[in-house]
Structure 1
Amino acid sequence: MEARNLPIIFYPSSTPPSRSWSPPLENFVKANFDASFIPHDNRSGTGIIIRNSNGEIMASCVHPNSDILNATFVEALACEQAMLFSCDLGFQRVIVEGDAFNITSKMKNATVDR
């Protein structure tokens, strides 16, 4: 993926997601992502759904991915795809939430991580 300057504000979720979905604040959307990994084929798939504060689905998509290194990479890629998808659709206040708590936690850290 190419690097872009994202003209939107992302708010990574600060807690692991619960079993039930909770709406974002008004004037925000929530981009939920998840990924699956097939290690013997080095392939993965990403699913993204964007909802508004009323719970209405604003957009959704799936991404097939190839040449995947490991499960951690899959979750980081899924998070990036959720951010880029939100940006491409023009959303400006996005809460990004996925089950990869370590990835969204690292997004809040200002230091560079390999």
Structure 2
Amino acid sequence: MWVFDKKFQSPSMLYKTATDDLEVFKQVGQMQKQQINETEVQLQARVKVLWELAVETFYKFNFDATYIQNDRIMGIGGVLRDHRGDAKMVLSAPKAHVPSAFHAECYALIQAMQLCHELRISNMIFEGDAKQVIDSINSNCVDCSWKG
């Protein structure tokens, strides 16, 4: 008789428990390997998004914002490039008392648009990564969802 975890078990029962636990351990290992392989396949299947030049006679202004929720502060940045990809201007600015990341992204776009307007630069393409902002701009509908 063997004692483990304050239970008396015979050697054959301990052996059976150990082999059952080993089988479960092997199955979990196989499941983990399968999950890792599936994740690698998913990563390989991701589409690479590459920046593209603007068509001739156009400029492209890439903008972005970062937002720190706890401090309610943000920073914006942007680059204006011509159709050859040459940087013509950069924009960066901090701002405090910002209510959300959506507001931060909107502010980045507005600043980019105002700068181009003030410099009388037309034939513009504005490009950012904030889907909600881009969808709102491209929509014909009034969207007040950002109000809550």
TM-score (norm 1): 0.78
Q: Which has the higher contact order (CA 8 A, sep 6+)?
A: 1
Coordinate RMSD, CA, aligned: 1.3
Please tell me whether residue 33 in structure 1 is matched to residue 63 in structure 2. yes
Structure 1 or 2: more helix by fraction: 2
CA displacement at 1:100 relative to structure 2 = 0.6
| 1:12-69 superposed Cα distances (whole Å, 9 cap, x missing partner) | xxxxxx6422111111100000111111211100001000000011111101111100
Structure 1 or 2: more strand by fraction: 1
Q: How many correspondences in the alignment?
A: 97
TM-score (norm 2): 0.61
Compare CA radii of gyration and give the structure with the larger one.
2
Which residue of 1 is the match for residue 80 of structure 2?
50
3-state SS of the aligned residue for 1:102?
A: helix
> After TM superposition, where is structure 1 displaced by more than 6 Å over at least 4 residues in a row?
none
Identity score, percent:
30
Which residue of 1 is the match for residue 91 of structure 2?
61
Q: Which runs of 5+ in 1 are unaligned?
A: 1-17
Which residue of 1 is the match for residue 109 of structure 2?
79
